[in-house]
Structure 1
């Protein structure tokens, strides 16, 4: 894979407060340049949600209401997040979730395209029993020594997802082949309409 052929790309991860729809509590955006995660230009934000963090969500990511009470509200950081993401491609694990949450918080934002490492892993590693981020970390064995924070924090998960994306890219000759395997139907960058459930 010739990484110089890649368009601008940021691996993103978001953490929510556990409500439906969720309020954001953490966003990470990690550029991938020349086949490596570029932590020097990454962005990471904590934000106080409008509604309290549920006990279940707090147990998952460790971000409690007490931890977030002095963080800025979303309106105070939205422009920073939007500016960093710009119109670049984004990549995430189970990407439609991250895309839709970010889109709900930034209606004017639209990435050039969306890569999903879950979709890509199913094409790249057929036959795995699971395709969760933990299962892919175990299968790929990426070097996570330099990863910030810990599992289920946005910065860690974005770093791990970036390493897994780079490892899977070695299985494809061109960016177009990679994108064809990784972009979910109906999301930016896909020529296919979104899959819809029907009654028949």
Structure 2
């Protein structure tokens, strides 16, 4: 089974008000194991970031001005997600924005669900943990996933965290879960990181330009400088 853990960052909270996608991050899982393949892009939205969005992402129009428009990467994006199951936290938000972007790129692109299935981990969490906070940060804490380095929202970073959260919530459905008998939260997170690393088959995919990889590496380096570490160290170098 091929799954794509996906997250987006946007210029604001509502595509109906003309807000746009500025970042997409995707992590590929096959049979619940990370393959090392990812899709990551920044986009020039052609409009200002709303103050709240800029604050939580750290992205500015100045940073995004030399990035490509969404329509230049739409074919690559669709090819990457095609025939997969998309794992998204609060899927209605991301899918709404992506459907809007596809409509602007051309009616023939259809909708996200024309190309892939969708699994909403927020709905899954609400069913499993009724009455509790089920944000990504809350789930990381509950499942022992170390997110201490998450000072800013970033699509690829959040997709990586969501991959671990998803595996944690579905640990009874495969052999790569977060559950570990007798382990505390920190030990469980360390054991999970080790399992994820050993499960990854490194591949080099040239899905992003050198400029985009450099921009991402620079941003992750700033986060690492503040936090002192990254949960997925290869991210800082664009691997």
Same fold (TM over 0.5): yes
Residue 143 of structure 1 contacts residue 163 of structure 1 at CA under 8 Å; is this kept in 2? no
What does residue 186 of structure 1 align with?
Answer: none
Q: Is 2:42 aligned against 1:46? A: yes
Partner SS state of residue 153, structure 2: coil
Shift of 1:19: 6.1
Shift of 1:150: 5.4
What does 1:107-146 correspond to in 2, within 5 Å? 107-108=109-110, 109=112, 110-127=114-131, 129-143=132-146
Residue 5 of structure 2 contacts residue 159 of structure 2 at CA under 8 Å; is this kept in 1? yes
Rounded Cα–Cα distance in structure 1 between residues aligned with 2:75 and 2:96? 17
| Residues 1:8 and 1:80: Cα distance change in structure 2 (over 3 Å) | same
What does residue 8 of structure 1 align with?
Answer: 2
Rounded Cα–Cα distance in structure 2 between residues aligned with 1:124 and 1:37? 24
What does residue 183 of structure 2 align with?
Answer: none
Unpaired segments of 5 or more residues in structure 1?
1-6, 174-200
What does residue 90 of structure 1 align with?
Answer: 86
- Give a deviation string over 1:117-167, Cα, whole Å, max 9, x none: 11111222345x21111110110112569x8x8541001111111111111
Match of 1:17 among 5, 11, 14: 11
Report which of the two has the higher share of helix: 2
Residue 94 of structure 1 contacts residue 116 of structure 1 at CA under 8 Å; is this kept in 2? yes
Partner SS state of residue 41, structure 1: strand
Shift of 1:71: 0.6
Residue 140 of structure 2 contacts residue 146 of structure 2 at CA under 8 Å; is this kept in 1? no
What does residue 179 of structure 1 align with?
Answer: none
What does 1:178-189 correspond to in 2, within 5 Å? none
Q: Is 2:31 aligned against 1:34? A: yes
What does residue 70 of structure 1 align with?
Answer: 66
Residue 44 of structure 2 contacts residue 65 of structure 2 at CA under 8 Å; is this kept in 1? yes
Shift of 1:105: 1.4
| Residues 1:117 and 1:151: Cα distance change in structure 2 (over 3 Å) | farther
Partner SS state of residue 73, structure 2: helix
Rounded Cα–Cα distance in structure 1 between residues aligned with 2:77 and 2:116? 16
Over aligned residue pairs, what C-alpha RMSD do you find?
A: 2.2
Compute the TM-score of the two structures, normalised by the length of structure 2.
Answer: 0.62
| Residues 1:89 and 1:96: Cα distance change in structure 2 (over 3 Å) | same
Q: Is 2:60 aligned against 1:56? A: no
Rounded Cα–Cα distance in structure 2 between residues aligned with 1:76 and 1:70? 13
